[in-house]
Amino acid sequence: MEEYTRIWKQILEEISKKVAAVSYDMWFSKLEPLDISFGKIILVTNLNSIKDTLSKPIYRDKIMESIKTIDNPMVTDFTIINEDEKKEYLSKLNTNTVIEDSSQYNAPKFNEAYTFDNFVVGSSNNTAKSAAFSVAQNPGNSFNPLFIYGGVGLGKTHILHAIGNYVLSQNKNANIIYATTEQFVNDFIESMRNNKVSDKVFNFREKYRNADILMLDDVQFLIGKESSQEALFHTFNDLYQNKKQIVLTSDRHPRDLVSLEERLRSRFNSGLTVDISSPDLETRIAILQKKAYQKNFNISKNIIYFIAEKITSNIREIEGALSKVIFYCQLHNKDEADDLNLVMEALKDDLDSHSNVLSLDTITDAVCAYYNITKDEIKGAKKTKNIAEARQIDIYLINDMISCPLMTIGNYLGNRDHSTIIYARDKVTDQLKNDNRIKLIVKDIRNMIEKN
Ligand code: ADP
Ligand code: MG
More confident residue, 344 or 216: 216
pLDDT surpasses 70 at 199: no
Give pLDDT, residue 404. 75
Is the separation of the CB atoms in 129 and 255 below 8 Å? no
Give pLDDT, residue 355. 45
176 — pLDDT class (breaks 50, 70, 90): very high
Residue 393 CA to ligand 1 center (angstroms) comes to: 39
Q: Which of 148, 113, 105 is nearest to 128 (CA)?
A: 148
- What is the CB-side half-sphere exposure of residue 74 using CA atoms within 13 A? 20
Average pLDDT over residues 249-255: 94
**For ligand 1, atom 5: residue with the closest CA:** 155
Helices 281-294 and 301-310 cross at an angle (nearest 10°) of 130
3-state SS, 298-337, equals EECHHHHHHHHHHCCCCHHHHHHHHHHHHHHHHHCCCCEE
pLDDT surpasses 60 at 241: yes
Residue 134 CA to ligand 2 center (angstroms) comes to: 20
Please state the atom number of ligand 1 nearest to the C-alpha of residue 122.
Answer: 23
Residue 328 CA to ligand 2 center (angstroms) comes to: 27
Residue 121 CA to ligand 1 center (angstroms) comes to: 11
Q: Which residues, chain by chain, have CB under 5 Å from ion ligand 2? A: 156-157
Tens-digit pLDDT profile for residues 105-146: 455 789 999 999 999 999 999 999 999 999 999 999 999 999
Mapped onto helix, strand or coil, the DSSP state of residue 32 is strand
Tell me the C-alpha distance between 9 and 21, whole Å: 16
Average pLDDT over residues 271-278: 96
102 — pLDDT class (breaks 50, 70, 90): very low
Probe target for ligand 1 pocket from 133, 154, 178, with the most ligand atoms within 8 Å of CB:
154
With a 6 Å cutoff on the Cβ, whether 158 touches ligand 1 is yes
Q: Which of 88, 9, 13, 7 is nearest to 40 (CA)?
A: 7
With a 6 Å cutoff on the Cβ, whether 122 touches ligand 1 is no
Tens-digit pLDDT profile for residues 45-54: 999 999 999 9
Residue 150 CA to ligand 2 center (angstroms) comes to: 10
Give pLDDT, residue 99. 45
Residue 287 CA to ligand 1 center (angstroms) comes to: 10
> Hey, which bits of 198-340 come out as E strands?
213-217, 245-250, 272-275, 298-299, 336-337
Tens-digit pLDDT profile for residues 375-412: 999 999 999 999 999 999 999 999 988 767 888 899 89
More confident residue, 339 or 173: 173
**For ligand 1, atom 23: residue with the closest CA:** 120
In the sheet where 146-149 sits, what is the strand order?
176-180, 213-217, 245-250, 146-149, 272-275
Q: Which amino acid is at 127?
A: T
Please state the atom number of ligand 1 nearest to the C-alpha of residue 150.
Answer: 3
With a 6 Å cutoff on the Cβ, whether 291 touches ligand 1 is no
With a 6 Å cutoff on the Cβ, whether 111 touches ligand 1 is no
Average pLDDT over residues 170-186: 93
More confident residue, 57 or 147: 147
Mean pLDDT of all residues belonging to the chain: 90
Mapped onto helix, strand or coil, the DSSP state of residue 78 is strand
Q: Which of 274, 232, 270, 237 is nearest to 253 (CA)?
A: 274
Give the Cβ contact number of residue 88 at 10 Å.
Answer: 11
Average pLDDT over residues 37-44: 94
With a 6 Å cutoff on the Cβ, whether 191 touches ligand 1 is no
Give pLDDT, residue 196. 59
Q: Which amino acid is at 342?
A: L
Average pLDDT over residues 233-258: 95
pLDDT surpasses 80 at 354: no
Please state the atom number of ligand 1 nearest to the C-alpha of residue 276.
Answer: 3
Give pLDDT, residue 103. 41
With a 6 Å cutoff on the Cβ, whether 218 touches ligand 1 is no
Give pLDDT, residue 449. 84
Please state the atom number of ligand 1 nearest to the C-alpha of residue 39.
Answer: 14
More confident residue, 98 or 235: 235
With a 6 Å cutoff on the Cβ, whether 76 touches ligand 1 is yes
pLDDT surpasses 90 at 442: yes
With a 6 Å cutoff on the Cβ, whether 178 touches ligand 1 is no
- What is the CB-side half-sphere exposure of residue 308 using CA atoms within 13 A? 21
**For ligand 1, atom 9: residue with the closest CA:** 155
Please state the atom number of ligand 1 nearest to the C-alpha of residue 121.
Answer: 23
Please state the atom number of ligand 1 nearest to the C-alpha of residue 152.
Answer: 4
Tell me the C-alpha distance between 268 and 263, whole Å: 9
Give pLDDT, residue 165. 97
Average pLDDT over residues 137-166: 96
* pLDDT over 70 percentage in the chain: 93
Q: Which range is least confidently modeled, 30-44, 119-133, 196-210, 330-344?
A: 196-210
Average pLDDT over residues 198-202: 56
Q: Which ligand is nearest to the CA of 153?
A: 1
Average pLDDT over residues 365-380: 93
Give pLDDT, residue 92. 84
Helices assigned H by DSSP within 402-435: 406-412, 418-434
Residue 233 CA to ligand 1 center (angstroms) comes to: 28
**For ligand 1, atom 20: residue with the closest CA:** 155
Q: Across-strand partners of 36?
A: 41
Probe target for ligand 1 pocket from 284, 289, 315, with the most ligand atoms within 8 Å of CB:
315
With a 6 Å cutoff on the Cβ, whether 64 touches ligand 1 is no
- φ/ψ of residue 10, rounded to 5: -65, -40
Average pLDDT over residues 188-207: 72
Give pLDDT, residue 339. 84
With a 6 Å cutoff on the Cβ, whether 119 touches ligand 1 is yes
